[in-house]
Amino acid sequence: MNSYDALFKQARLQLDSLSKLSSLKEDPLEVMLEKNHLDRRDFIKWAASITAMLALPGHFTPLVADAVKLADRLPLVWLHLAECTGCSESLIRTDSPTIDSLIFDYVSLEYHETLMAASGWQAEENLENAIKNYAGRYILLIEGGVPTAMNGQYLTIGAQARTGVDLLHHAAASAAAIFSIGTCASFGGIQAAAPNPTGAKGVDKVISKPVINVPGCPPNAKNIVGTLVYFILFGTLPAIDVYSRPKWAYGNRIHDNCERRGHFDAGEFVETFGDGGAKEGWCLYKQGCKGPYTFNNCSVERFNQHTNWPIGAGHGCMGCSEPNFWDTMGPLEKPIDSHLLMGLNATADKIGTTLLTATAIGIGAHAVASLFAKSNDRNNEEEQS
């Protein structure tokens, strides 16, 4: 039996045992899709794309489809800590609902401060009931960093003014799995930027249970849904990298799958926004693109129903899925070490060549030579004029 056969068997067993649980929703998935003018063909196409994104072979597609149909067996508790709600917004704010966003209507979202109708004491009661009734079964999703200074007093929630730290410990204790949604929950976020007065931290630095980080500011809805589908499908957490990010989503550098990569290798860079190179779609490295240091699947999965992504739209990657990007990746529109190594007055050419030779970002020798050549050509032209 090869490893995919074993995985297939594991998924089938997991789905069979899930199917024995009763549904927590009134309508099956098919009815919800129909209400949103989506048919079975759309759904299977979507399931095939999720299968490919999870790096599973095509014959897993029916299993992925079954896993999504069984998502109604899954209670979800979503806590908001120190954050802007942008991750929730990115998931639910679409002019026409995608299957990605519809999944969150289909799962049993027991507690979500932005979406639930209840408020005050009733909302707190809902949370307590979910934790008690679904102990050991619910998935806990956290959006936002955890302020830990002053015993967590920088963040209090609800009528009883419980601290975010306290709520997190309470909800995490009985969770079947814990996902940190977004860079704030994963690594502390912008509120953890130096000097970090609130002592904001990522969830996995506060609790001792395993946590899957799904960073991004915001994360792609596909990465949130994919993490959920993976857990339903296998009942386990996926393979992770050193920052606890699922490898299927964060295993490759933005730079390695970027459509402008050929221009990087050829030494063709946008020198200023709006110049001829920008119009030709040349590389944005000199305009501060952090794609060479950033691991995420934006270049493949894209945003807004796969229509575009930041680099496609003409701005460099900001490194939003990396820990401490708020302190280490700025200024956002300058190459990374401009202010640290060379001083702010250093030219982009010097910075570019210094970085290209000093860091292992995978550029071919011919590209370095090409960059030097272009830089020298330009300097000669400037001297002659």
Binding site residues, ligand SF4, CB under 6 A: 216, 254-255, 258, 260-261, 264, 283-285, 289, 291-292, 294, 296, 298, 309-311, 316-321
Q: Nearest distance from residue 275's CB to ligand SF4, in Å?
A: 15
Tell me the β-bridge partners of 299.
none
| CA distance linking residue 245 with residue 337, whole number of Å | 26
The residue (of 177 and 249) whose beta carbon lies closer to ligand SF4 is 249
| CA distance linking residue 130 with residue 116, whole number of Å | 13
The residue (of 226 and 319) whose beta carbon lies closer to ligand SF4 is 319
- Cβ atoms of 110 and 138 within 8 Å: the answer is yes
Residue whose C-beta lies closest to ligand SF4: 291
- Cβ atoms of 216 and 162 within 8 Å: the answer is no
The residue (of 177 and 289) whose beta carbon lies closer to ligand SF4 is 289
The residue (of 33 and 284) whose beta carbon lies closer to ligand SF4 is 284
**Quick one: tokens of 61?**
């597609």
Q: Nearest distance from residue 247's CB to ligand SF4, in Å?
A: 16
Residue 289: is it exposed, middle or buried by C-beta count within 10 angstroms (0-12/13-18/19+)? Answer: buried
For 261, residues 6+ apart whose C-beta sits below 8 A from its C-beta are 255, 283
The residue (of 73 and 290) whose beta carbon lies closer to ligand SF4 is 290
Q: Nearest distance from residue 318's CB to ligand SF4, in Å?
A: 4
Q: Nearest distance from residue 271's CB to ligand SF4, in Å?
A: 13
User: Of 116, 136, 139, 135, which Cα lies nearest the Cα of 126?
Assistant: 116
Q: Nearest distance from residue 270's CB to ligand SF4, in Å?
A: 8
The residue (of 229 and 298) whose beta carbon lies closer to ligand SF4 is 298
Q: Nearest distance from residue 286's CB to ligand SF4, in Å?
A: 9
Q: Residue 254: left if φ>0, alpha if ψ -120 to 50, beta else—which one?
A: alpha
Q: Nearest distance from residue 36's CB to ligand SF4, in Å?
A: 26
Amino acid found at 384? Q
| CA distance linking residue 299 with residue 258, whole number of Å | 6
Helices vs strands, H then E, count in the chain:
17, 9
Specify the DSSP element, H or E, that contains 164: helix 164-173
The residue (of 319 and 323) whose beta carbon lies closer to ligand SF4 is 319
Total Cβ atoms within 10 A of residue 245: 27
Q: Nearest distance from residue 257's CB to ligand SF4, in Å?
A: 9
Q: Nearest distance from residue 201's CB to ligand SF4, in Å?
A: 21
The residue (of 112 and 255) whose beta carbon lies closer to ligand SF4 is 255
User: Of 288, 293, 234, which Cα lies nearest the Cα of 70?
Assistant: 234
Q: Nearest distance from residue 32's CB to ligand SF4, in Å?
A: 29
The residue (of 61 and 297) whose beta carbon lies closer to ligand SF4 is 297
The helix/strand/coil state of 149 is helix
The DSSP secondary structure of 118-137, one letter per residue, reads: --HHHHHHHHHHHHHHTTTT
The residue (of 60 and 250) whose beta carbon lies closer to ligand SF4 is 250
Residue 39: is it exposed, middle or buried by C-beta count within 10 angstroms (0-12/13-18/19+)? Answer: exposed
The helix/strand/coil state of 303 is strand
